[in-house]
């Protein structure tokens, strides 16, 4: 199973579902709606939605039934990119090969577009819920809220902004919350909406956390010339960081070994997340 082929196959379905989940850019307030869509279309790799769909397949579920999870995790991801790029955060002018939202629009619009994307994520996660799947949807909301909030993305971001990473544990604590929590939530909410058991959810979540930390270490390796900030390469060196990423990937694959052949697309995506461009 080739991860890039799998990503390419997921893309049209995910993009269509994202388009349906968002207000049209011509609907008032049009400036807000256009800003929300600015970074969504065209998108990036759509790794998190593909992980949600592959996790559904891994537990024998129907990928179409988990599109709400795929949409929700991408909306949270894009909101975090919009806010991370703001002048008061990383102050970036380019993202996905285009001007960032505050550059293309203005700062206040970028803040509000991020807020609206985050809110839309939770709306999308429960849209079309039925009596039969209402409980699973509610638990998915709980898990995504945990990954996105103070215990996850936002908490990781504030520690990242504070600096002071003098140990591998301190770096990995930020990576766990800032990157791995959402990757793990993509996998576990996808699997949950596909009817996974609690035991399956536990191993899938653990595999997602391990892979998410390794994904971020890969980012550190790709940015190895950056000699400051939250980077495992800076703290333990390139060779040790590479070994750590591989060990985390191995442990993720080991955790989901029992899921058998139908988890092959998920395994391919986990490998790709860690080994991309290395």
List of residues contacting ligand GRG (CB under 6 A): 44-45, 47, 77, 80-81, 83-84, 89, 96, 153-154, 157, 178-179, 219
Q: Which is nearer to ligand GRG, 15 or 84 (CB)?
A: 84
CB 23, min distance to ligand GRG, A: 21
Residue 83 or 137: the one with the smaller Cβ distance to ligand GRG is 83
The C-alpha atoms of residue 226 and residue 78 are separated, in whole angstroms, by 24
Please name which of 22, 43, 42, 41 lies closest in space to residue 33, comparing C-alpha atoms.
22
Query: Residue 133 Cβ, how far from ligand GRG at the closest point, in Å?
Result: 27
Burial of 43 (0-12, 13-18, 19+ CB in 10 A): middle
Min. distance of Cβ 83 from ligand GRG in angstroms?
3
Q: Cα separation of 111 and 35, whole Å? A: 10
Cβ proximity to ligand GRG, 145 vs 154, nearer residue? 154
Strands 94-95 and 98-99: antiparallel
Q: Which is nearer to ligand GRG, 196 or 252 (CB)?
A: 252
DSSP state of 95: E
Shortest distance (Å) from residue 148 CB to ligand GRG? 8
List Cβ neighbours of 227 (8 Å cut-off, separation of 6 or more).
234
């Amino acid at each position: 199973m080739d991860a890039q082929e799998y990503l390419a196959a997921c893309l049209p379905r995910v993009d269509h579902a994202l388009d349906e989940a968002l207000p049209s850019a011509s609907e008032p307030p049009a400036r807000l709606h256009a800003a929300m869509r600015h970074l969504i279309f065209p998108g990036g790799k759509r790794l998190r939605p593909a992980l949600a769909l592959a996790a559904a397949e891994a537990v024998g579920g129907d990928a179409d039934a988990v599109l709400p999870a795929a949409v929700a995790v991408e909306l949270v991801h894009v909101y975090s990119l919009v806010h991370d790029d703001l002048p008061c955060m990383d102050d970036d002018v380019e993202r996905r090969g285009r001007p960032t939202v505050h550059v293309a629009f203005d700062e206040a619009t970028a803040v509000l577009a991020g807020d609206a994307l985050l809110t839309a994520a939770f709306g999308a996660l429960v849209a079309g819920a039925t009596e039969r799947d209402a409980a699973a949807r509610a638990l998915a909301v709980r898990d995504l809220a945990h990954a996105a909030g103070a215990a996850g993305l936002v908490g990781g971001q504030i520690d990242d902004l504070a600096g002071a990473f003098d140990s591998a544990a301190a770096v990995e604590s930020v990576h766990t919350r800032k990157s791995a929590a959402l990757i793990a939530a993509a996998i576990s909410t996808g699997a949950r909406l596909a009817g996974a058991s609690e035991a399956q959810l536990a191993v899938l979540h653990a595999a997602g956390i391990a892979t998410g930390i390794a994904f971020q270490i890969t980012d550190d390796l790709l940015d190895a010339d950056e000699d400051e900030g939250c980077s495992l390469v800076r703290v333990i060196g390139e060779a040790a960081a590479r070994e750590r990423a591989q060990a985390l990937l191995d442990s993720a694959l080991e955790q989901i070994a029992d899921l058998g052949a139908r988890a092959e697309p998920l395994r391919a995506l986990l490998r790709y997340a860690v080994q991309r461009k290395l």
